[in-house]
Copies of this chain bind each other. A is one copy, B any other.
Amino acid sequence: MVLTRSSKELYEEYVRYMRKIADIKNALAVLQWDQETYLPAKGAAARGQQIATLSETSHEWLVSARLGALLNDLNDRNDLGPEEKRNVTLSLEDYTKQKKFSPEFVRLLSETTSRCWHAWIKSRQVNSFALFGDDLAKLVELKRQEADLAGYAGHPYDALLDEFERACTVSLLDRVFDEVRQPLKELLDRIAASPEIVDNSFLHQHYPRQQQWEFGMGLIRQMGFDLQAGRQDLSEHPFTTSFSRNDVRITTRIDENDLGHMTWSCIHEAGHALYEQGLPEAYYGLPLGEYASLSIHESQSRLWENNVGRSHAWWQYQYPLLQKTFPGQLSKVSLEQFYRGINKVGPSLIRTEADEVSYHFHVMIRYELEKRLIEGSMPVHELPGYWNEQYAQYLGVRVTDDKHGCLQDVHWSHGSFGYFPTYSLGSFYAAQLYAVAEKEERGLPEAVLRGDTSLLLGWLRGHIHQYGRQYNSEELCQRATGETLNIQHFLAYLLDKYNNIYKI
Protein backbone atom coordinates (compact mmCIF):
# COMPACT_ATOMS: atom_id res chain seq x y z
CA MET A 1 0.00 0.00 0.00
CA VAL A 2 1.33 3.42 -0.97
CA LEU A 3 0.71 6.28 1.38
CA THR A 4 -0.84 9.31 -0.28
CA ARG A 5 1.71 12.06 -0.50
CA SER A 6 0.90 15.57 0.62
CA SER A 7 0.46 18.34 -1.92
CA LYS A 8 3.48 20.03 -0.42
CA GLU A 9 5.67 16.97 -1.02
CA LEU A 10 4.37 16.59 -4.55
CA TYR A 11 4.86 20.25 -5.33
CA GLU A 12 8.41 20.15 -4.01
CA GLU A 13 9.17 17.15 -6.20
CA TYR A 14 7.73 19.03 -9.17
CA VAL A 15 9.94 22.05 -8.38
CA ARG A 16 13.07 19.90 -8.06
CA TYR A 17 12.30 18.14 -11.31
CA MET A 18 11.62 21.37 -13.23
CA ARG A 19 14.81 22.88 -11.88
CA LYS A 20 16.85 19.95 -13.10
CA ILE A 21 15.35 20.47 -16.55
CA ALA A 22 16.12 24.19 -16.30
CA ASP A 23 19.73 23.38 -15.37
CA ILE A 24 20.09 21.30 -18.52
CA LYS A 25 18.44 23.96 -20.67
CA ASN A 26 20.63 26.65 -19.19
CA ALA A 27 23.75 24.53 -19.70
CA LEU A 28 22.62 24.22 -23.32
CA ALA A 29 22.34 28.01 -23.48
CA VAL A 30 25.90 28.37 -22.14
CA LEU A 31 27.15 26.05 -24.89
CA GLN A 32 25.28 28.07 -27.50
CA TRP A 33 26.55 31.36 -26.11
CA ASP A 34 30.11 30.03 -26.22
CA GLN A 35 29.50 28.81 -29.76
CA GLU A 36 28.62 32.35 -30.89
CA THR A 37 31.35 34.14 -28.96
CA TYR A 38 34.49 32.11 -28.29
CA LEU A 39 34.35 28.65 -29.90
CA PRO A 40 37.42 27.87 -32.01
CA ALA A 41 36.57 26.90 -35.59
CA LYS A 42 37.42 23.21 -35.38
CA GLY A 43 35.36 22.76 -32.22
CA ALA A 44 32.07 23.19 -34.07
CA ALA A 45 31.33 19.54 -34.85
CA ALA A 46 31.76 18.21 -31.30
CA ARG A 47 29.86 21.21 -29.97
CA GLY A 48 26.95 20.41 -32.27
CA GLN A 49 26.78 16.91 -30.78
CA GLN A 50 27.02 18.19 -27.22
CA ILE A 51 24.18 20.63 -27.86
CA ALA A 52 22.08 17.86 -29.44
CA THR A 53 22.60 15.59 -26.42
CA LEU A 54 21.57 18.29 -23.95
CA SER A 55 18.59 19.19 -26.10
CA GLU A 56 17.43 15.57 -26.33
CA THR A 57 17.90 15.08 -22.61
CA SER A 58 15.86 18.12 -21.61
CA HIS A 59 13.16 17.13 -24.08
CA GLU A 60 13.03 13.56 -22.75
CA TRP A 61 12.65 14.83 -19.21
CA LEU A 62 9.98 17.34 -20.26
CA VAL A 63 7.78 14.68 -21.81
CA SER A 64 8.50 11.95 -19.26
CA ALA A 65 5.64 9.90 -17.86
CA ARG A 66 6.95 10.75 -14.41
CA LEU A 67 6.43 14.48 -14.95
CA GLY A 68 3.03 13.82 -16.50
CA ALA A 69 1.83 11.82 -13.50
CA LEU A 70 3.15 14.44 -11.11
CA LEU A 71 1.44 17.30 -12.95
CA ASN A 72 -1.87 15.50 -13.30
CA ASP A 73 -1.82 14.60 -9.64
CA LEU A 74 -0.99 18.17 -8.61
CA ASN A 75 -3.63 19.53 -10.95
CA ASP A 76 -6.28 17.64 -9.00
CA ARG A 77 -5.21 19.08 -5.65
CA ASN A 78 -7.27 21.85 -4.09
CA ASP A 79 -4.80 22.99 -1.49
CA LEU A 80 -2.16 24.71 -3.62
CA GLY A 81 -1.54 28.44 -3.31
CA PRO A 82 -2.48 30.63 -6.31
CA GLU A 83 1.10 30.93 -7.63
CA GLU A 84 1.68 27.22 -7.14
CA LYS A 85 -1.54 26.49 -8.98
CA ARG A 86 -0.55 28.80 -11.83
CA ASN A 87 2.85 27.13 -12.19
CA VAL A 88 1.23 23.71 -12.31
CA THR A 89 -1.40 24.84 -14.83
CA LEU A 90 1.20 26.31 -17.17
CA SER A 91 3.53 23.33 -16.86
CA LEU A 92 0.63 20.97 -17.56
CA GLU A 93 -0.29 23.02 -20.64
CA ASP A 94 3.32 22.81 -21.88
CA TYR A 95 3.43 19.11 -21.12
CA THR A 96 0.11 18.35 -22.82
CA LYS A 97 1.17 20.26 -25.90
CA GLN A 98 4.52 18.46 -26.14
CA LYS A 99 2.86 15.07 -25.76
CA LYS A 100 0.84 15.67 -28.89
CA PHE A 101 4.01 15.08 -30.90
CA SER A 102 5.39 11.58 -31.08
CA PRO A 103 9.14 11.09 -30.57
CA GLU A 104 9.31 10.07 -34.26
CA PHE A 105 7.67 13.33 -35.34
CA VAL A 106 10.00 15.37 -33.12
CA ARG A 107 13.03 13.61 -34.58
CA LEU A 108 11.79 14.01 -38.16
CA LEU A 109 11.14 17.71 -37.57
CA SER A 110 14.56 18.19 -36.03
CA GLU A 111 16.35 16.40 -38.88
CA THR A 112 14.37 18.23 -41.55
CA THR A 113 15.07 21.55 -39.88
CA SER A 114 18.77 20.79 -39.70
CA ARG A 115 18.84 19.92 -43.42
CA CYS A 116 16.79 22.98 -44.24
CA TRP A 117 19.19 25.26 -42.37
CA HIS A 118 22.19 23.84 -44.20
CA ALA A 119 20.33 24.30 -47.50
CA TRP A 120 19.64 27.92 -46.55
CA ILE A 121 23.34 28.52 -45.84
CA LYS A 122 24.26 27.02 -49.21
CA SER A 123 21.55 28.85 -51.11
CA ARG A 124 22.82 32.13 -49.66
CA GLN A 125 26.33 31.29 -50.78
CA VAL A 126 25.20 30.86 -54.37
CA ASN A 127 22.52 33.52 -53.92
CA SER A 128 19.64 31.46 -55.25
CA PHE A 129 16.38 30.43 -53.61
CA ALA A 130 16.18 27.41 -55.91
CA LEU A 131 18.65 25.45 -53.78
CA PHE A 132 16.54 26.05 -50.69
CA GLY A 133 13.04 25.53 -52.09
CA ASP A 134 12.74 21.73 -51.90
CA ASP A 135 13.92 21.48 -48.30
CA LEU A 136 11.75 24.39 -47.28
CA ALA A 137 8.75 22.75 -48.92
CA LYS A 138 9.33 19.62 -46.86
CA LEU A 139 9.64 21.67 -43.71
CA VAL A 140 6.45 23.61 -44.49
CA GLU A 141 4.66 20.32 -44.98
CA LEU A 142 5.82 19.19 -41.53
CA LYS A 143 4.80 22.47 -39.96
CA ARG A 144 1.33 21.98 -41.45
CA GLN A 145 1.27 18.54 -39.84
CA GLU A 146 2.47 20.08 -36.61
CA ALA A 147 -0.45 22.51 -36.69
CA ASP A 148 -2.87 19.62 -37.20
CA LEU A 149 -1.33 17.63 -34.35
CA ALA A 150 -1.34 20.62 -32.01
CA GLY A 151 -4.90 21.49 -32.98
CA TYR A 152 -6.49 24.91 -33.51
CA ALA A 153 -9.90 26.54 -33.50
CA GLY A 154 -9.58 29.10 -36.30
CA HIS A 155 -6.66 29.12 -38.72
CA PRO A 156 -3.91 26.42 -38.77
CA TYR A 157 -1.35 29.24 -38.38
CA ASP A 158 -2.86 29.87 -34.91
CA ALA A 159 -1.34 26.59 -33.74
CA LEU A 160 2.15 27.74 -34.78
CA LEU A 161 1.72 31.23 -33.35
CA ASP A 162 0.94 29.57 -30.04
CA GLU A 163 4.56 28.47 -29.66
CA PHE A 164 5.78 32.05 -29.51
CA GLU A 165 2.72 33.95 -28.47
CA ARG A 166 0.08 32.21 -26.36
CA ALA A 167 -3.49 33.17 -27.19
CA CYS A 168 -2.48 35.10 -30.29
CA THR A 169 -4.47 34.33 -33.46
CA VAL A 170 -4.73 35.15 -37.12
CA SER A 171 -7.92 37.05 -36.43
CA LEU A 172 -6.16 39.29 -33.88
CA LEU A 173 -3.16 39.87 -36.16
CA ASP A 174 -5.32 40.53 -39.23
CA ARG A 175 -7.24 43.17 -37.30
CA VAL A 176 -4.08 44.84 -35.97
CA PHE A 177 -2.24 44.84 -39.29
CA ASP A 178 -5.37 46.09 -41.08
CA GLU A 179 -5.44 49.01 -38.67
CA VAL A 180 -1.82 50.02 -39.24
CA ARG A 181 -1.34 49.26 -42.92
CA GLN A 182 -3.07 52.31 -44.38
CA PRO A 183 -1.85 54.95 -41.89
CA LEU A 184 1.73 53.67 -42.19
CA LYS A 185 1.57 53.67 -45.96
CA GLU A 186 0.26 57.23 -45.93
CA LEU A 187 3.00 58.31 -43.54
CA LEU A 188 5.65 56.71 -45.74
CA ASP A 189 4.26 58.47 -48.79
CA ARG A 190 4.16 61.82 -47.05
CA ILE A 191 7.73 61.41 -45.86
CA ALA A 192 8.82 60.50 -49.38
CA ALA A 193 7.10 63.62 -50.70
CA SER A 194 8.59 65.90 -48.04
CA PRO A 195 11.24 68.34 -49.29
CA GLU A 196 13.10 68.01 -45.97
CA ILE A 197 16.56 66.51 -46.35
CA VAL A 198 17.56 64.22 -43.48
CA ASP A 199 21.22 63.35 -43.50
CA ASN A 200 22.77 60.47 -41.53
CA SER A 201 26.10 60.27 -43.32
CA PHE A 202 27.87 61.28 -40.07
CA LEU A 203 27.13 57.77 -38.77
CA HIS A 204 29.29 56.31 -41.51
CA GLN A 205 32.60 57.93 -40.67
CA HIS A 206 35.43 55.94 -39.12
CA TYR A 207 34.69 55.12 -35.47
CA PRO A 208 37.52 53.14 -33.82
CA ARG A 209 36.57 49.82 -32.29
CA GLN A 210 37.79 50.38 -28.73
CA GLN A 211 36.00 53.72 -28.25
CA GLN A 212 32.80 52.25 -29.67
CA TRP A 213 33.05 49.37 -27.21
CA GLU A 214 33.55 51.69 -24.26
CA PHE A 215 30.71 53.98 -25.27
CA GLY A 216 28.40 50.96 -25.67
CA MET A 217 29.37 49.65 -22.24
CA GLY A 218 28.59 53.08 -20.82
CA LEU A 219 25.16 53.04 -22.45
CA ILE A 220 24.10 49.70 -21.03
CA ARG A 221 25.45 50.56 -17.59
CA GLN A 222 23.49 53.81 -17.68
CA MET A 223 20.33 51.87 -18.63
CA GLY A 224 20.68 49.82 -15.46
CA PHE A 225 22.09 46.59 -16.86
CA ASP A 226 23.67 44.89 -13.84
CA LEU A 227 27.19 43.87 -14.81
CA GLN A 228 27.46 41.78 -11.65
CA ALA A 229 24.60 39.71 -13.05
CA GLY A 230 25.54 39.63 -16.69
CA ARG A 231 28.10 40.67 -19.27
CA GLN A 232 28.50 41.84 -22.84
CA ASP A 233 30.71 40.19 -25.45
CA LEU A 234 31.17 40.36 -29.20
CA SER A 235 29.53 38.06 -31.75
CA GLU A 236 28.67 38.00 -35.43
CA HIS A 237 24.99 38.68 -34.74
CA PRO A 238 23.95 40.44 -31.53
CA PHE A 239 21.75 38.42 -29.19
CA THR A 240 20.62 38.05 -25.59
CA THR A 241 20.65 34.81 -23.63
CA SER A 242 20.15 34.01 -20.00
CA PHE A 243 21.37 31.23 -17.71
CA SER A 244 19.49 32.59 -14.68
CA ARG A 245 18.25 36.06 -13.81
CA ASN A 246 21.68 36.57 -12.24
CA ASP A 247 23.61 35.66 -15.37
CA VAL A 248 22.25 37.37 -18.47
CA ARG A 249 24.57 37.66 -21.45
CA ILE A 250 24.27 40.08 -24.33
CA THR A 251 26.46 40.54 -27.37
CA THR A 252 27.09 43.28 -29.86
CA ARG A 253 28.95 43.70 -33.14
CA ILE A 254 31.19 46.61 -33.99
CA ASP A 255 31.46 48.00 -37.51
CA GLU A 256 34.12 50.72 -37.59
CA ASN A 257 32.33 52.43 -40.46
CA ASP A 258 28.89 52.45 -38.88
CA LEU A 259 28.37 53.85 -35.41
CA GLY A 260 24.68 52.98 -35.53
CA HIS A 261 25.07 49.25 -35.54
CA MET A 262 26.85 48.99 -32.19
CA THR A 263 24.83 51.76 -30.56
CA TRP A 264 21.32 50.49 -31.14
CA SER A 265 22.23 46.83 -30.86
CA CYS A 266 23.62 47.54 -27.37
CA ILE A 267 20.44 49.37 -26.39
CA HIS A 268 18.16 46.75 -27.96
CA GLU A 269 19.86 43.76 -26.37
CA ALA A 270 20.19 45.52 -23.01
CA GLY A 271 16.42 46.10 -23.19
CA HIS A 272 15.93 42.35 -23.50
CA ALA A 273 18.47 41.79 -20.74
CA LEU A 274 16.81 44.17 -18.28
CA TYR A 275 13.66 42.06 -18.63
CA GLU A 276 15.57 38.85 -17.92
CA GLN A 277 17.34 40.42 -14.94
CA GLY A 278 13.94 41.48 -13.61
CA LEU A 279 12.27 38.06 -13.67
CA PRO A 280 11.45 36.71 -10.20
CA GLU A 281 14.41 34.76 -8.81
CA ALA A 282 12.26 32.60 -6.54
CA TYR A 283 10.73 30.93 -9.59
CA TYR A 284 13.95 29.72 -11.25
CA GLY A 285 13.01 26.82 -13.51
CA LEU A 286 9.26 27.35 -13.15
CA PRO A 287 6.82 29.05 -15.55
CA LEU A 288 6.44 32.10 -13.30
CA GLY A 289 10.19 32.62 -13.62
CA GLU A 290 9.98 32.75 -17.42
CA TYR A 291 9.22 35.65 -19.75
CA ALA A 292 5.57 36.19 -20.74
CA SER A 293 5.86 35.92 -24.52
CA LEU A 294 8.06 36.89 -27.42
CA SER A 295 6.07 40.05 -28.15
CA ILE A 296 6.45 41.23 -24.58
CA HIS A 297 10.17 40.43 -24.71
CA GLU A 298 10.44 42.41 -27.91
CA SER A 299 8.39 45.24 -26.44
CA GLN A 300 11.12 45.67 -23.85
CA SER A 301 13.99 45.75 -26.34
CA ARG A 302 12.16 48.10 -28.69
CA LEU A 303 10.93 50.43 -26.00
CA TRP A 304 14.57 51.04 -25.06
CA GLU A 305 15.87 51.01 -28.60
CA ASN A 306 13.27 53.31 -30.17
CA ASN A 307 10.97 55.04 -27.71
CA VAL A 308 13.93 55.90 -25.47
CA GLY A 309 17.01 55.29 -27.62
CA ARG A 310 15.91 57.30 -30.65
CA SER A 311 14.21 60.06 -28.67
CA HIS A 312 15.32 63.67 -28.59
CA ALA A 313 14.94 63.69 -24.81
CA TRP A 314 17.37 60.88 -24.07
CA TRP A 315 20.06 62.13 -26.40
CA GLN A 316 20.04 65.53 -24.71
CA TYR A 317 22.07 63.83 -22.01
CA GLN A 318 23.83 61.14 -24.05
CA TYR A 319 24.84 63.13 -27.09
CA PRO A 320 27.42 65.37 -25.38
CA LEU A 321 29.02 62.18 -24.03
CA LEU A 322 29.08 60.70 -27.51
CA GLN A 323 30.59 63.90 -28.91
CA LYS A 324 33.25 63.80 -26.22
CA THR A 325 34.10 60.22 -27.23
CA PHE A 326 34.26 61.10 -30.92
CA PRO A 327 35.10 64.82 -31.15
CA GLY A 328 36.70 64.53 -34.58
CA GLN A 329 33.64 62.87 -36.03
CA LEU A 330 30.81 64.66 -34.24
CA SER A 331 31.83 68.02 -32.83
CA LYS A 332 30.30 69.77 -35.83
CA VAL A 333 27.11 67.71 -35.85
CA SER A 334 24.44 69.38 -33.71
CA LEU A 335 22.08 67.44 -31.44
CA GLU A 336 19.27 68.42 -33.82
CA GLN A 337 21.12 67.02 -36.83
CA PHE A 338 22.00 63.91 -34.90
CA TYR A 339 18.43 63.32 -33.77
CA ARG A 340 17.07 63.77 -37.28
CA GLY A 341 19.78 61.60 -38.79
CA ILE A 342 19.22 58.65 -36.49
CA ASN A 343 15.52 58.76 -37.37
CA LYS A 344 15.92 58.94 -41.14
CA VAL A 345 13.16 57.09 -42.97
CA GLY A 346 13.63 55.41 -46.31
CA PRO A 347 12.43 52.13 -47.74
CA SER A 348 15.07 49.43 -47.97
CA LEU A 349 15.39 45.76 -48.86
CA ILE A 350 16.66 44.45 -45.52
CA ARG A 351 14.37 44.11 -42.52
CA THR A 352 17.04 44.44 -39.86
CA GLU A 353 18.19 47.75 -41.34
CA ALA A 354 14.72 49.24 -41.69
CA ASP A 355 13.50 52.43 -40.00
CA GLU A 356 10.61 52.45 -37.55
CA VAL A 357 7.96 53.14 -40.19
CA SER A 358 8.84 50.87 -43.08
CA TYR A 359 9.88 48.06 -40.72
CA HIS A 360 6.35 46.81 -40.31
CA PHE A 361 5.85 46.28 -44.02
CA HIS A 362 8.75 43.83 -43.89
CA VAL A 363 6.85 41.98 -41.19
CA MET A 364 3.43 42.17 -42.83
CA ILE A 365 4.82 40.77 -46.08
CA ARG A 366 6.35 37.82 -44.20
CA TYR A 367 3.17 37.31 -42.19
CA GLU A 368 0.96 37.13 -45.28
CA LEU A 369 3.43 34.75 -46.88
CA GLU A 370 3.55 32.46 -43.84
CA LYS A 371 -0.24 32.28 -43.63
CA ARG A 372 -0.45 31.23 -47.26
CA LEU A 373 2.27 28.62 -46.91
CA ILE A 374 0.73 27.14 -43.79
CA GLU A 375 -2.85 27.14 -45.03
CA GLY A 376 -1.54 25.59 -48.26
CA SER A 377 -2.85 28.27 -50.57
CA MET A 378 0.55 29.05 -52.03
CA PRO A 379 3.25 26.54 -53.06
CA VAL A 380 6.78 27.24 -51.80
CA HIS A 381 8.25 27.78 -55.25
CA GLU A 382 6.05 30.85 -55.75
CA LEU A 383 7.59 32.48 -52.68
CA PRO A 384 10.32 34.60 -54.37
CA GLY A 385 7.91 35.98 -56.95
CA TYR A 386 5.33 36.91 -54.36
CA TRP A 387 8.02 38.41 -52.13
CA ASN A 388 9.43 40.63 -54.84
CA GLU A 389 5.99 41.79 -55.95
CA GLN A 390 5.01 42.76 -52.39
CA TYR A 391 8.24 44.69 -51.83
CA ALA A 392 7.56 46.63 -55.00
CA GLN A 393 3.96 47.30 -53.99
CA TYR A 394 4.47 48.35 -50.36
CA LEU A 395 7.96 49.76 -50.29
CA GLY A 396 8.48 50.65 -53.91
CA VAL A 397 11.81 48.84 -54.03
CA ARG A 398 13.08 46.36 -56.59
CA VAL A 399 14.54 43.21 -55.07
CA THR A 400 17.88 42.73 -56.78
CA ASP A 401 18.59 39.15 -55.73
CA ASP A 402 17.39 36.48 -53.30
CA LYS A 403 20.02 37.27 -50.69
CA HIS A 404 18.56 40.76 -50.46
CA GLY A 405 15.11 39.24 -50.81
CA CYS A 406 13.49 36.14 -49.45
CA LEU A 407 16.75 34.52 -48.31
CA GLN A 408 17.68 37.32 -45.90
CA ASP A 409 16.25 35.86 -42.67
CA VAL A 410 17.21 32.65 -40.93
CA HIS A 411 13.78 32.08 -39.32
CA TRP A 412 12.11 29.83 -41.88
CA SER A 413 15.14 27.59 -42.16
CA HIS A 414 14.74 27.05 -38.41
CA GLY A 415 11.08 26.18 -38.87
CA SER A 416 10.06 29.33 -37.01
CA PHE A 417 6.76 30.21 -38.61
CA GLY A 418 4.77 32.66 -36.52
CA TYR A 419 7.81 34.44 -35.13
CA PHE A 420 7.92 37.56 -37.32
CA PRO A 421 4.58 39.02 -36.17
CA THR A 422 5.90 39.19 -32.61
CA TYR A 423 8.44 41.80 -33.76
CA SER A 424 5.69 44.19 -34.83
CA LEU A 425 3.57 43.40 -31.78
CA GLY A 426 6.65 44.27 -29.74
CA SER A 427 6.82 47.75 -31.27
CA PHE A 428 3.10 48.26 -30.79
CA TYR A 429 3.14 47.18 -27.13
CA ALA A 430 6.29 49.25 -26.55
CA ALA A 431 4.61 52.47 -27.69
CA GLN A 432 1.59 51.79 -25.51
CA LEU A 433 3.66 50.92 -22.44
CA TYR A 434 5.93 53.91 -22.83
CA ALA A 435 3.03 56.32 -23.35
CA VAL A 436 1.38 55.11 -20.16
CA ALA A 437 4.62 55.01 -18.15
CA GLU A 438 5.44 58.59 -19.19
CA LYS A 439 2.03 59.75 -18.07
CA GLU A 440 1.74 57.65 -14.92
CA GLU A 441 5.19 57.83 -13.43
CA ARG A 442 5.68 61.28 -12.00
CA GLY A 443 8.98 62.87 -13.07
CA LEU A 444 9.85 60.19 -15.63
CA PRO A 445 10.14 62.46 -18.70
CA GLU A 446 12.26 65.00 -16.79
CA ALA A 447 14.52 62.23 -15.49
CA VAL A 448 15.11 60.93 -19.02
CA LEU A 449 16.32 64.40 -20.00
CA ARG A 450 19.00 63.97 -17.33
CA GLY A 451 19.90 60.54 -18.68
CA ASP A 452 18.23 58.90 -15.71
CA THR A 453 16.01 55.98 -16.75
CA SER A 454 15.72 54.41 -13.32
CA LEU A 455 12.08 55.50 -12.94
CA LEU A 456 11.27 53.90 -16.27
CA LEU A 457 13.06 50.70 -15.32
CA GLY A 458 11.20 50.69 -12.01
CA TRP A 459 7.88 51.04 -13.80
CA LEU A 460 8.70 48.17 -16.18
CA ARG A 461 9.87 46.00 -13.31
CA GLY A 462 6.66 46.65 -11.41
CA HIS A 463 4.24 46.32 -14.33
CA ILE A 464 5.89 43.71 -16.55
CA HIS A 465 9.07 42.00 -15.38
CA GLN A 466 8.02 40.76 -11.96
CA TYR A 467 5.07 38.78 -13.34
CA GLY A 468 7.03 36.29 -15.41
CA ARG A 469 4.57 34.09 -17.27
CA GLN A 470 1.73 34.81 -14.82
CA TYR A 471 -0.25 36.62 -17.57
CA ASN A 472 -0.25 36.41 -21.35
CA SER A 473 0.60 39.43 -23.50
CA GLU A 474 -2.88 40.91 -23.69
CA GLU A 475 -3.57 40.35 -19.99
CA LEU A 476 -0.28 42.01 -19.06
CA CYS A 477 -0.99 44.90 -21.39
CA GLN A 478 -4.45 45.33 -19.87
CA ARG A 479 -3.06 45.35 -16.32
CA ALA A 480 -0.18 47.67 -17.14
CA THR A 481 -2.01 50.17 -19.33
CA GLY A 482 -5.72 49.75 -18.58
CA GLU A 483 -6.52 48.39 -22.03
CA THR A 484 -5.50 45.63 -24.38
CA LEU A 485 -3.38 46.44 -27.42
CA ASN A 486 -4.48 49.79 -28.81
CA ILE A 487 -2.63 50.58 -31.99
CA GLN A 488 -3.41 54.30 -31.69
CA HIS A 489 -0.53 54.72 -29.21
CA PHE A 490 1.92 53.47 -31.77
CA LEU A 491 0.47 55.54 -34.59
CA ALA A 492 0.38 58.69 -32.44
CA TYR A 493 4.02 58.14 -31.47
CA LEU A 494 5.12 57.80 -35.08
CA LEU A 495 3.05 60.70 -36.38
CA ASP A 496 4.24 63.01 -33.66
CA LYS A 497 7.87 62.12 -34.28
CA TYR A 498 7.91 62.19 -38.06
CA ASN A 499 5.58 65.14 -38.56
CA ASN A 500 8.15 67.05 -36.61
CA ILE A 501 11.24 65.68 -38.31
CA TYR A 502 9.89 65.82 -41.85
CA LYS A 503 7.75 68.94 -41.20
CA ILE A 504 4.58 67.42 -42.60
Contacts and interface: CB of A to CB of B under 8 A. Distances in A.
A69 interface: no
Contact of A45 (B30, B50, B226, B246): B246
A246 B57 contact: no
Contacts of A363: none
A47 interface: yes
A243 to B, nearest CB: 7
Given A247-B39, A247-B40, A284-B46, A54 B228 contact: no
A19 interface: yes
Interface string A235-279: 000000001101100000000000000000000000000000000
Interface string A25-56: 01110110010001111110111011011100
B43 A246 contact: yes
A43 B284 contact: no
A106 interface: no
A33 to B, nearest CB: 8
A231 interface: yes
B19 A49 contact: yes
A54 B23 contact: yes
Given A27-B27, A34-B30, A246 B53 contact: no
B27 A243 contact: no
A20 interface: yes
B26 A228 contact: no
A461 to B, nearest CB: 17
B50 A23 contact: yes
A243 B43 contact: yes
Contacts of A229: 40-43
Interface in A184-241: 226-231, 233
Contacts of A28: 27
A176 interface: no
A227 B53 contact: no
A24 interface: yes
Contacts of A53: 19-20, 23-24, 27
Contact of A227 (B24, B30, B40, B244): B40
Contacts of A231: 38, 40
B226 A42 contact: yes
A57 B47 CA distance: 19
A44 to B, nearest CB: 8
Given A43-B244, A43-B246, A50 B38 contact: no
B23 A243 contact: no
B40 A26 contact: no
A34 B249 CA distance: 12
A220 to B, nearest CB: 13
Contacts of A284: 46
A231 B34 CA distance: 12
A36 to B, nearest CB: 13
A226 B41 CA distance: 10
A34 B52 CA distance: 20
A440 B45 CA distance: 37
A262 to B, nearest CB: 20
A24 B54 contact: yes
A156 to B, nearest CB: 36
Contacts of A34: 30, 34
A304 to B, nearest CB: 20
A53 to B, nearest CB: 4
9 contacts: A19-B53, A23-B53, A26-B50, A27-B54, A39-B247, A40-B228, A43-B243, A45-B246, A47-B247
